[in-house]
């Protein structure tokens, strides 16, 4: 896999809180769950971990969402969430440099810690609406699944939402890989 930013926020149309009619209920249950994904995954496996794909500082570009296009720089963190050493979710976080001040500066230094644990333990955290998207079989994300030895013949689903810590925004996007278990 190359180290270029995967265009999770830029390649697709996102549906807001309204469930797309063709989205199965079991999938929608995962996509629209406002609770911690980390906690949900931890409950499904013996060993939960985070593997960093990359963390880089970039000038906003067409590979990112349009949420922070007016920012000078954005920290992009791409990770895999693993259950029992198997990637189940690809997560991409966009954090504008304006968010990385004061107490939130630590977000740039979390390493292999779960961002979800940090967000859901912060008493100032607010979550915006959840948006979802579906990726057809010829998507770059199907190639990612193939690279991870998780070939798949059906669409893949992702979700994203803005989080606010002390009213400072960051965007978390999560692609559910075939091994996530949400498709069965």
pLDDT in tens, 93-134: 999 999 998 888 999 999 999 999 999 999 999 999 999 999
Domains detected in the chain: 25-180 (3.40.1410.10)
Q: How far is CA 42 from the centre of its chain?
A: 16
Convert the pLDDT of each residue in 55-77 to its tens digit. 999 988 777 888 888 888 999 99
| pTM for this entry | 0.92
Residue of 37, 152, 133 whose CA lies nearest to 89: 37
DSSP 8-class letter at 86: E
Classify residue 81 by burial, with Cβ atoms within 10 Å: 0-12, 13-18, 19+.
Answer: buried
Confidence of residue 3 (pLDDT cuts 50, 70, 90): low
Q: Which residue has the tokens 């498709």?
A: 183
């Amino acid at each position: 896999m190359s180290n270029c930013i995967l265009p999770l926020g830029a390649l697709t149309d996102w549906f807001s809180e309204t469930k797309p009619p063709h989205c199965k209920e079991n999938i929608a249950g995962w996509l629209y769950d406002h609770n911690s994904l980390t906690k949900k995954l931890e409950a499904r496996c013996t060993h939960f971990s985070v593997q960093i794909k990359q963390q880089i500082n970039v000038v906003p570009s067409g590979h990112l969402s349009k949420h922070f296009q007016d920012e000078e720089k954005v920290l992009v963190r791409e990770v895999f969430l693993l259950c029992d050493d198997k990637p189940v979710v690809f997560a991409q976080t966009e954090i504008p440099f304006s968010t990385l001040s004061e107490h939130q500066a630590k977000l740039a230094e979390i390493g292999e810690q779960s961002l979800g644990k940090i967000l859901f333990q912060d008493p100032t955290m607010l979550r915006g609406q959840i948006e979802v998207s579906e990726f057809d079989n010829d998507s770059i994300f199907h190639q990612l699944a193939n690279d991870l030895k998780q070939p798949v013949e059906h669409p893949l689903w992702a979700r994203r939402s803005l989080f606010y810590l002390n009213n400072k925004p960051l965007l978390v996007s999560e692609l559910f890989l075939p091994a996530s278990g949400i498709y069965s």
